Amino acid sequence: MYHRPIILLIRKPVLFSITIVIMLVIIGTGTLKFKAALSQSLKNKVIVIDPGHGGADPGAHNTGVKEKDVNLDVSLRLRKVLESEGCTVILTRDVDKDFYNPGQYQGRAAKRIDLNHRISLASSNNADLFISIHANSFPRRNTYGMETYYHQKSPSGKILAENIQEHLTQLQLDNKRKAKAGDYYLLNQTKMPAVIVEVGFISNPRERKLLLTGDYRDSIAKAIADGIKSYFETPKEIREISEGIQSVTSQEGPAPISKDTYKVYFSKASLDGLSPEERSFNPSVWNKLTLTQKADLILKDLIKGPTSPDHLSTLSPKTKVLSVSLNNNILNLNFSKDIRENFSGSALEEDIAVKSIVWSMTQLPGVKGVTISIEGNYGDSIGGHVIFDHMLNPRS
């Protein structure tokens, strides 16, 4: 009776302490295991980070902010995060430089030489991943949002892009963009899973301001690294099995032309893809035209631009169609160099411009794809992200 409360008084704190100690041990081991699993997923991985553009090529630019500088700084920060997780990181450049042949900054081969250098660095080092960092710009200042691209036929690239995009959008909760397939040279030519990360629009005042701060760049680097981590935590079998499967495309291509209207594909104002406008024609006149003449008419409407305020032009109004020819159901389009006029320099704008041409052309029965040249140069480019060295169709 008398002693009991004393015993209890002694026991309670002891029991309490023991419980706390046990709990701490359990939590501690759990955290350690968890941490071990996370860093294990990145340990010894070779990751190539490619800060887009550089040197003579500023990339997109707006009010004195150059894409090449933003890309480099975010890449350096990303290297730091990944190295702290045990990755081997190779940067294609860690200073402001390009890989052009000296004195050859323009024309069909120039950009390809620069990009090939970056790609072969990744192949010769047997990189596990290739991460190219870019920034966007667009004439409409209110357009904003980070986005991630993968190659249409790389399911593992898609998984990587989706993971990165998911972590990026946590920094930007109103960003509803999903990872997208893009027909970019870098993605077409790399053998390992590869993505292009567009860290934001330097043309949007709010996003530009954020992109100029170190804290924001750090959080982008951290989000990309977290995305890479989640990618490697996806069971290896899923990543590898899916690699062998040709991805099924959800894009079916444009609707076939009707008997008295064709469609001209412009950009949606939201930049989330294409949207058609109808143009009517007189069937009796139309039916007398050759396929290349029909293509020429549609291209001229595309260059003229949209009539709806919900749509955006995809090509400079100064662009001239120099020639259109047909070979084995492939339309060969030759544009004047004005197609580069007023081009913002961003990968997104380039992707949409190419798609608007391809979709507007492949609605014509008998056209299975297009090739594009600029002033007769095949292998040229509007802005250096999409190189016209292959046949383009709605599924490319």
Q: How far is the CB of 68 from Zn ion (least distance, A)?
A: 8
Residues binding Zn ion: what is the number (CB under 5 A)?
4
Token pair recorded at residue 90: 């190779």
Q: Length of the chain in residues, anyone?
A: 396
The torsion region of residue 202 among left (phi > 0), alpha (psi -120 to 50) and beta comes to alpha
Which CB, 136 or 363, lies closer to Zn ion?
Answer: 136
Which CB, 105 or 286, lies closer to Zn ion?
Answer: 105
Q: Contact between 59 and Zn ion (CB under 5 A)?
A: yes
Q: Contact between 52 and Zn ion (CB under 5 A)?
A: yes
CB atoms near residue 170 (< 10 Å): 13
CA atoms within 13 A on the CB side of 196: 30
Q: How far is the CB of 160 from Zn ion (least distance, A)?
A: 19
**Applying CB under 5 A, which part among 2-10, 27-35, 48-56, 325-333 lies near Zn ion?**
48-56
Q: Contact between 51 and Zn ion (CB under 5 A)?
A: no
Q: Which single residue brings its beta carbon nearest to Zn ion?
A: 134
Which CB, 111 or 167, lies closer to Zn ion?
Answer: 111
Q: Whose CA is closest to 55, among 94, 7, 2, 81?
A: 94
Q: How far is the CB of 208 from Zn ion (least distance, A)?
A: 15
Which CB, 54 or 155, lies closer to Zn ion?
Answer: 54
Q: Whose CA is closest to 196, among 286, 272, 136?
A: 136
Q: Contact between 134 and Zn ion (CB under 5 A)?
A: yes
**Applying CB under 5 A, which part among 134-142, 164-172, 214-222, 274-282 lies near Zn ion?**
134-142
Distance CA 245, CA 248 (A): 9
Q: How far is the CB of 98 from Zn ion (least distance, A)?
A: 13
Q: Contact between 182 and Zn ion (CB under 5 A)?
A: no
Which CB, 134 or 217, lies closer to Zn ion?
Answer: 134
Q: Contact between 229 and Zn ion (CB under 5 A)?
A: no
C-alpha angle with apex 274: 270 to 277, nearest 5 degrees? 110
**Applying CB under 5 A, which part among 30-38, 58-66, 117-125, 321-329 lies near Zn ion?**
58-66
Q: How far is the CB of 386 from Zn ion (least distance, A)?
A: 11
Distance CA 78, CA 37 (A): 20
Q: Where are the alpha helices (DSSP H) in the chain?
A: 4-42, 67-84, 110-124, 155-169, 185-189, 205-211, 214-233, 236-244, 283-286, 291-304, 347-362
Task: Tell me if 375 sits within 8 A of 395, measured CB to CB.
Answer: no
Q: Is 209 exposed, middle or buried (0-12, 13-18, 19+ CB in 10 A)?
A: exposed
User: x/- site string to Zn ion, residues 303 to 342, per CB under 5 A?
Assistant: ----------------------------------------
Binding site for Zn ion (CB under 5 A): 52, 59, 134, 347
